[in-house]
Structure 1
């Protein structure tokens, strides 16, 4: 849990996650560890009025909850900071699909997730070597997918299906059964390739219409 205290009327505070702003001075910041759902902390600050931003994040600093508040610190007195947390709307899901067939681009490519209700999310994949993997294998099991999905995403109940195209223009679809509890467990989590029973193939045949030549005018 991260706390950012901005003295009122001294700066125009930026969003803490950007770390930048015109005339910006670093806020007074503190971090508390949450263990087994419990935390405790006391802060000593100069006597001033502050606007406060509080973030609850996972081990990789992806924000799960956020809050904005204010407090007045009075010399030689204790102040109480009231916080109301809101759940973040989206979360960065980074995952591998073990057993995914096909060979893929050495650098990066695109992928799509479709839900049973018709919702569509666009994402990308990259070589796992950029995520600390070893070697440059481009097999499906060694690429990392990245999607910004609703934080309450639940692949199983949402009927989620990932679709991706390999280098030889063959498309593959895998059912997804992960949720936020899988995503907060590590930087990249793994799921198994599962053929989606709701997926079907389409063969595309193309042709071009012939148009008669127009005779010239003389």
Structure 2
């Protein structure tokens, strides 16, 4: 049956263990295009808007061809606005369209459009990587945290990455909240999905109750 924590983690992952990148149709690998699409998704998720809307907007940007910095920068401002609007991302569409264009141009100018070069510049220092990410327009602390939570599965130096929102979800579930303690509850490959599931629990308090009930009933496995 496992310990209480093990049952809780199993129930959480079974029900909500899907990364936001997966929801947006991104098959995350350490290659330029999926990393860039994740970065765009992190920008969209960092606004005060429902996660489902941000995910759909990311899908619409990709469907419109804006899957890499060159195509994002090459699109017109109105094309970016239209794609965001199609995804329901209307409250912040004009500002975000500008930020996405400016951010794409910065990536092209400084890193040749390849986010892995930013990683190389950080030279294995997660703190430096956070600083470099913050230089991108529209990517504040929340957006950086989202990007790092999701990318920790392919960039080992970032692991473990369980930010404040993930810790909030862990506390609601009766799990330890320290990053190292949370990391020990799952394998490294499952860390991004676990972090995303914890965030969902923090955002929707009913999830915590559902998962705890399932764990008590032994339905996690």
Using the size of structure 1 for normalisation, the TM-score is 0.20
Rg larger in 1 or in 2? 1
Which has a greater percent of helix? 2
Which has a greater percent of strand? 1
Q: Which has the higher contact order (CA 8 A, sep 6+)?
A: 2
